[in-house]
Amino acid sequence: MQQLESKILKQKMPQALKNTVMVIGGAEDKVHGREILQAFFVRSGGNRARMAIIPCASREPRAVSSRYTGIFEDMGAKDIKVFDIRDRSEGEDPKWQEYLEDCTGVFISGGDQLRLCALVADTPMMEKLRLKVREGSIVLAGTSAGAAVMGHHMIAGGGSGESPNRSLVDMATGLGILPELIVDQHFHNRNRMGRLLSAIASHPDRIGMGIDEDTCAMVESDGIVQVIGKGAVTVIDTGELSYTNEAFVGASEPLSLFNLRLHILCHGDRYDLNNRSIINPENGERK
C-alpha cells in the first residue's frame, strides 16, 4: 500500500526540470493553495529566483503587476522586476535584456493578447526572452492572454457556444514560444470548443490545446506536457485528420473535420507533444 501511495504521489507531483513553459488557462488561484503560482515560483528557483513580471496585456499594468509581485514576495522571492512596457520603443531598452541575462523566471499576465503582441512582439526584449527559453535558462509562465500568445498562430478573439465555423474565431500571429500549438484559455468555463476547432480547421498542421481556468499545461524541454490544477486540458490532435471542408464553405457555415483525436487531461496526466501520444499513468507507456 505504501509503495502504491508513493507511486500515485510521484504521478501527481510536477517534476522540476530546468526549462519549463507553463501555459495557464487564466483565473489561477491567487489566495488559497496557489498551486500553480507556487509551482512557477519553485521552478524559477524559489527564494533564490530572479523573476520578471510582464503585465503589458493589461490596461491596468500597475495594479496587475502589484498583485503578482505581492504574491511572489509572500512566497519568499527577493528579486522581482516589472517590465512595464507601454510603448514598443520601450522594448528596445537594453535594461530589459540585461535583466533577462540572469533571470530565472518570467510571468506574463492576462488581459488582451493583441495588446500584448503589439507592444512586445519582435522587440529585442522578446527576442532575448525567446532565446533564453529555448536554451533552457528561464522558466516562462503565461496566464489567460499570456497563454494565448504562446503559439505562432494565436486566437485573438471570437465567439463561443456555436458549431465550428470560420467566423467564430479571429486569428493573429503570436509570440511563437510553442509554435506547434494553438492555445485557447478559460476553455470549458466559456464553452470555447467550437472556437478552437474552427482555428484548427484553418491550421490543421497544429495541435489544439484548450486550458480550463485554474489549470496549467507545463511543457518541458523534452516535449512532455504535464497538467496541474483543478480543471482539464483538452488536446485536439490533427495528426490523422483526413478531411475538412474549411476551404469550400462560407464563413458562417458549419465546418467538417474528420478523424480528429481528442484527449482530456486532468491533474497529473501527461502528453507527449513530439510523438502526439498519451502517457499511460499506470505504466508510462505511450498510446
Residues classed as catalytic: 144, 162, 186
Task: Give the C-alpha separation, 46 to 196, whole Å.
Answer: 35
Nine-digit cell at 84? 512595464
